[in-house]
Amino acid sequence: MMTWLRQNARETIAALALVILFAGYIAIHPRGFSTYVVTIWSNQGTLLGLAAIAQFFVVLVKGIDLSVGSIIALTNVMGSFLLNGSPTSIALGMAVVLTVGVACGLVNGIAVVYGGVQPIVTTLATGGIFGGIALLLRPTPGGSIDETMSDALTYAVAGIPVSAVILVIVLVILLMLLRRTAVGLGLYAIGSSEQSAYMTGLRVNRLKLVAYGSSGFVAALAGTYVSMVTLTGDPNIAPSYTLNSIAAVVLGGVALSGGVGSPLGAVIGALILKTISSLMFFSGLPPLAQPFFEGLILATAIALGALGVFQVRSRLELYR
Amino acid sequence: MTDATERTVTSRWLNRDRVSVLLIGLGCVALLLGGSLLYPGFLKPGYILQQLQIAAFLGIIATGAMLVILLGEIDLSVPWTITGTAIVVISASGSSNPLVASLAIPLGLCLGIAVGLLNAIGVAVFRVPAMVWTLAVNAMLLGAAVFYTGNSRPNGEVPWLATQAATGRTFGIPNAFLVWLVVAAITVWVLKRTVYGNYLYALGNSRRAVFLAGARVRLVMVATFVLAGVFSSFGAILLLGYTNQAYQGMGDPYLMPVISAVVIGGTSIQGGRGNYIGTFAGAIFITLLSSILSVMQMPPAAREMIFGAIILVMLLVHGLTNKKEGV
């Protein structure tokens, strides 16, 4: 148990912070701990959690994805066209939306792997393209989503929010894939040392494409779930998701230098962020002061996570 | 081995830096010629001078961004440094206290220094990834600006000097462009001829080696972030003189173009490689591109797409030529 805790220190600390923040949130929420409050919190958390997982896959292989938000916006907008009508057409629409997500991810991957462009600038450019397509398809928020499906996926069953169940299922599947399959371990290997991974005989290029494709897939899941929660397609949601997904993975102990972290950490980071902003909402601070404190808390949290730099034995370790 | 390839690459006349400058130069010419087919006024000196004037704002802000990128970091706090500076300057200049009013521009630059220091503390001392830290700083600046102005447009006066520098002309040439030329000359000199410039490139290549060589790594990093903040504020003051008003979100449309200008100018986003001429040309290219797209009356969505696509193509060309050279 102790070794496990030590090995997963970053996730453990983040989880503790989350528990404290959540307790604080419940304590000051006027309606206290009720299914309603938890469901809303969980739905919001799931949206950002999925976005953070999408970001995690790219960060795992030493990349960064500035187009996550745009892919979410694009798939959300497509969902607002396709996710209604008969069950068959919804299923087909769902397949199309997810395929688009994977395709977007692969475009990023191909430009990075075969085009030799740095991930950060690639996704900066493709983010513009994906976001542009979303805006072209639907210049203003609108559209319709099948309400039965939305209700089924965003309410609670027996006091447990469906969104939480979805998030847990996604997490379990991903954790199994990442820890138990050759592909998953290969991704970690590439993140830690691309050169060694190549020398070991891993198909580095192909594995990187898998990472980018998976990121696109999860982003599409997030986009679909945005459709379910908001019942509209909104092309303007991109920037906030991109920025928050990066902040979330860092808070959740995923190293931006690659190879370290887990989707669980990313989700915990996302939930922390969501709880902070909900806390702000009910904190009684003047509304105009809230954005400042949100930024301040984010900065403090990140700086606290970096306190380890004062423990290194040699300053040489800080420079790589 | 890298040393040998490096030498053969630099010994050739058409090295990497020159290729990117040449490429963007061709891109600018292509844009102007293509634009003149649609709209004959494009090749007139008046239009070109006006574009250079607008490019100056982007170019000055991109100068700071380039220094940080050369270091191997990134500054995402640019948007609200711009907005914050504009708000500070316009409010101070409109102040009833004559002393505060006369110090409006220095106060604005001080904000840039403060933001730069804050960025540097996180990145150089706490070693937080710049991407996240500067983002958090940006969020705090946004919060502070919202709190200060209370969701309304800040009132005040634009300093006379800012208006003159941004919109005035000397011998028919926009002052803003002249200011940019001066900034450019100094930057080129600093990058090529000073110890600081050499450290900057060296740090971008191998921070470890520079540390072992005994250089004051943190000092150089702090100085770079502070300079970046000052350039953002400087650009913001000119921008304020040009738009004649400060409003929330006035800096938001600048982040992507600034980074794009630096990167398509051939500066490696990993740091340690790039030259200022590339950034200079990159800023002009980006300005021309967005001007032409707006003259063509593209809807914003299509504009965003084409913008992204062209930048991606430029980057792919860079990336593929690098691969061929084995860099």
Residue from B1, B73, B135 to probe the interface with A (highest A Cβ count within 10 Å): B135
Residue A28 CA: distances (Å) to CA of A66, A274, A285: 35, 15, 12
pLDDT in single tens digits along all 327 residues of chain B: 445 444 444 445 556 667 777 888 888 888 888 878 877 777 778 888 888 888 999 999 999 999 999 988 888 889 899 999 998 888 888 777 777 777 888 888 999 999 999 999 888 888 787 887 888 888 888 888 888 887 677 777 788 788 777 887 888 888 888 899 999 999 999 988 888 888 888 888 888 888 888 888 888 889 999 999 999 999 999 998 888 888 887 887 888 888 888 888 888 777 788 888 888 988 999 898 888 888 877 787 787 788 788 778 877 877 777 665 544
pLDDT at residue A14 tops 60:
yes
Are the Cβ atoms of B143 and A243 closer than 8 angstroms? no
State both tokens at A224. Answer: 């679909």
Cβ neighbours for B290, distance < 8 A, ≥ 6 positions apart: B257, B303, B307
State both tokens at B24. Answer: 């963007």
How many Cβ atoms from other residues are within 10 Å of residue B293's Cβ?
A: 21
Are the Cβ atoms of B146 and A292 closer than 8 angstroms? yes
Tens digit of each residue's pLDDT (9 = 90 or more) over B12-37: 555 666 777 788 888 888 888 887 88
Are the Cβ atoms of B139 and A298 closer than 8 angstroms? yes
H-run or E-run covering B124: none
A174 phi and psi, to 5 degrees?
-65, -40
Nearest CB to A246; choose among B128, B132, B318: B132
Residue from A59, A117, A136, A310 to probe the interface with B (highest B Cβ count within 10 Å): A117
Say how far apart CA B83 and CA B254 lie, in whole Å. 10
Are the Cβ atoms of B312 and A111 closer than 8 angstroms? yes
- The DSSP symbol for A157 reads E
Say how far apart CA A260 and CA A56 lie, in whole Å. 10
The per-residue b/e assignment along A10-25, b for 16 or more CB within 10 angstroms, e otherwise, is bbbbbbebbeebbeeb
**Chain A residue closest to B263 (CA)?**
A121
pLDDT at residue A309 tops 80:
no
Q: Collect all residues of chain A within an 8 Å Cβ-Cβ radius of residue B204.
A: none
| pLDDT value for B224 | 92
State both tokens at B279. Answer: 């950034």
The dihedral formed by the CA atoms of A278, A279, A284 and A288, expressed in degrees to the nearest 10: -60
Residue from B75, B199, B312, B317 to probe the interface with A (highest A Cβ count within 10 Å): B312
Say if residue A294 is exposed, middle or buried (CB neighbours under 10 Å; 0-12, 13-18, 19+).
buried
| pLDDT value for B82 | 92
Q: Is A256 on the interface with B (CB under 8 A)?
A: yes
- Res. A297 pLDDT band, cuts 50 70 90: confident
Domains of chain A in start order, with CATH, are: 8-275 (1.10.3470)
Between positions 283 and 312 of A, the ones with CB within 8 A of B are 288-296, 298-299, 302-303, 305-307, 309
Judging by DSSP bridges, how do beta strands B173-174 and A156-157 pair with one another?
A: unpaired
| pLDDT value for A312 | 64
Interface confidence, given as ipTM, is: 0.74
Are the Cβ atoms of A117 and B318 closer than 8 angstroms? yes
Say how far apart CA A26 and CA A63 lie, in whole Å. 36
| pLDDT value for A116 | 80
Mean pLDDT calculated for residue range A303-314:
65
Between positions 39 and 68 of A, the ones with CB within 8 A of B are 64
- Judged by DSSP in three states, A233 sits in strand
Are the Cβ atoms of A288 and B323 closer than 8 angstroms? no
Cβ neighbours for B159, distance < 8 A, ≥ 6 positions apart: B89, B93, B104, B105, B237, B241
Say how far apart CA A128 and CA A104 lie, in whole Å. 12
**Chain B residue closest to A319 (CA)?**
B208
A257 phi and psi, to 5 degrees?
-85, 0
State both tokens at B226. Answer: 């502070």
Distance from CA of B230 to the nearest CA of A (A): 22
Cβ neighbours for A310, distance < 8 A, ≥ 6 positions apart: none
Q: What CATH architecture applies to the domain B20-325? A: Orthogonal Bundle (1.10)
A56 phi and psi, to 5 degrees?
-55, -45
| pLDDT value for B313 | 83
State both tokens at B87. Answer: 């708000």
Nearest CB to B315; choose among A122, A306, A320: A122
Cβ neighbours for B326, distance < 8 A, ≥ 6 positions apart: B5
Distance from CA of B160 to the nearest CA of A (A): 31
State both tokens at B152. Answer: 């309304």
Q: A32 or A203: whose pLDDT is higher? A: A203
Are the Cβ atoms of A299 and B150 closer than 8 angstroms? no
Say how far apart CA B76 and CA B99 lie, in whole Å. 33
Nearest CB to A64; choose among B131, B144, B318: B131
Q: Collect all residues of chain B within an 8 Å Cβ-Cβ radius of residue A115.
A: 315-316, 319-320
Query: How many contacts, defined by CB atoms under 8 Å, are there between A and B?
Result: 161
Q: Is A110 on the interface with B (CB under 8 A)?
A: no
Q: Is A313 on the interface with B (CB under 8 A)?
A: no
**Chain B residue closest to A235 (CA)?**
B301
Q: Collect all residues of chain B within an 8 Å Cβ-Cβ radius of residue A122.
A: 312, 315
Say how far apart CA B16 and CA B24 lie, in whole Å. 13
Nearest CB to A246; choose among B131, B212, B256: B131
Tens digit of each residue's pLDDT (9 = 90 or more) over A112-146: 998 888 888 888 889 888 988 998 888 888 777 77
**Chain B residue closest to A136 (CA)?**
B301
Are the Cβ atoms of B211 and A292 closer than 8 angstroms? no
| pLDDT value for B10 | 47
- Do residues B239 and A97 touch, judged by C-beta distance below 8 A? no
E strands present in chain A? 156-157, 160-161
Question: HEC profile for A96-131?
Answer: HHHHHHHHHHHHHHHHHHCCCCCHHHHHHHHHHHHH
Are the Cβ atoms of B133 and A64 closer than 8 angstroms? no
